[in-house]
Amino acid sequence: MPSTLSVRAALLLTLAAVAVSAAAADAQDPLAAAIASPSRTAKFTVRDQYRHPLETLRFFGVRPNQTVVEIWPGRGWYMEILAPYLREQGKYYAAIEAPDVPGAAKEAKDNAAVLRKRIADDPTHLGKVVVTELHPPQLTEICPPGTADVVLTFRNVHNWLATGDQQAHFNAFFKALKPGGVLGVVEHRAKPGTSREEMRKSGYMDEDYIKNLAGTAGFRFDAESPINNNPKDTKDYPEGVWTLPPTLALGDKDRAKYLAIGESDRMTLRFVKPGS
């Protein structure tokens, strides 16, 4: 009869072999390789634990031969993953918040400058990025109409609620997609029944409200994933969602408390444009 020690050793060897096999499988996965790439900005990668890029992009069905539009990519967190992943077989559009329209926010101007510099500084990985601008009603063509396989938006809808053009954005996504194309939405999730005014103030969005925006644009709700859920998020902070990391709007006040909560509780929703 084998000893307890030998059984434990065999179990450890088995677990190690499984771990090595999983790592090898991921190494052969171009999406996992793009996420693990040393070309990514170091301060971006520390947020993978909250944003779950591998699981999120797999849930949205992103493949390397697709045309993908990312809406308002900010300073390029997801761009650094998607652009290299799509570089050889697909196409990546960065539909930025238009920086030069009347009334454009300073943040839009700053983000556009940083993003364009990031692209220019790394032509090997980012040289094929196509930058378009989105600012309804003036600018709504984020790619040639009906050519996108996937449109992705990460934590942006609360911004459009604040400016009152949320429906126009979803309409633009519908126009961009092929029939059968996917709209992927990640957004801070409010408590059910949260008022529109409270959504504007807190940055947390009611899930049904977003589903209605998509439905009004013509989308069919397809599925949701729990991958970006955070049950520690109580959603009742002095500065709304910006109280939590990465913003930490209260500075050092209760900093350890908010770091322990982590980034916000987020819905991860997949919609489909009807058609073959």
**28 pLDDT band (50/70/90 cuts)?**
confident
Between CA 187 and CA 208 the distance in angstroms is 12
Mean pLDDT across the stretch 221-243?
98
Between CA 64 and CA 128 the distance in angstroms is 14
Tokens for 111? Answer: 């983000």
Tokens for 3? Answer: 């000893």
pLDDT at 69 over 60: yes
pLDDT at res. 27: 52
Write down the pTM of the prediction.
Answer: 0.89
pLDDT at 7 over 70: no
pLDDT at 206 over 50: yes
Percent of the chain at pLDDT > 70 equals 90
pLDDT at 111 over 90: yes
pLDDT at res. 11: 45
Residue of 70, 84, 133 whose CA lies nearest to 104: 133
Angle at 66 between CA 144 and CA 53, to 5 degrees: 115
The residue that leads in pLDDT, 23 or 108, is 108
CATH of domain 41-272: 3.40.50.150
pLDDT at 10 over 90: no
Check if the beta carbon of residue 251 is closer than 8 Å to that of residue 156.
no
Tokens for 104? Answer: 């454009």
Residue of 81, 95, 201 whose CA lies nearest to 147: 95
pLDDT at res. 57: 98
Q: Cα 149 to the chain's mean position, in Å?
A: 16
pLDDT at res. 103: 84
Tokens for 222? Answer: 């397809």
pLDDT at 31 over 50: yes
Check if the beta carbon of residue 105 is closer than 8 Å to that of residue 129.
no
User: Measured in Å, how far apart are the chain's first and last C-alpha atoms?
Assistant: 61
Instruction: Name every residue whose Cβ is closer than 8 Å to that of residue 186 and which is 6 or more positions away in sequence.
Output: 56, 153, 154, 155, 228, 266, 267, 268, 269
> Which SS3 state, helix, strand or coil, does residue 97 take?
strand
pLDDT at res. 152: 98
Tokens for 195? Answer: 């008022």
pLDDT at res. 211: 98
pLDDT at res. 1: 47
pLDDT at res. 147: 98
Between CA 153 and CA 183 the distance in angstroms is 8
**132 pLDDT band (50/70/90 cuts)?**
very high
Mean pLDDT (the chain) is: 92
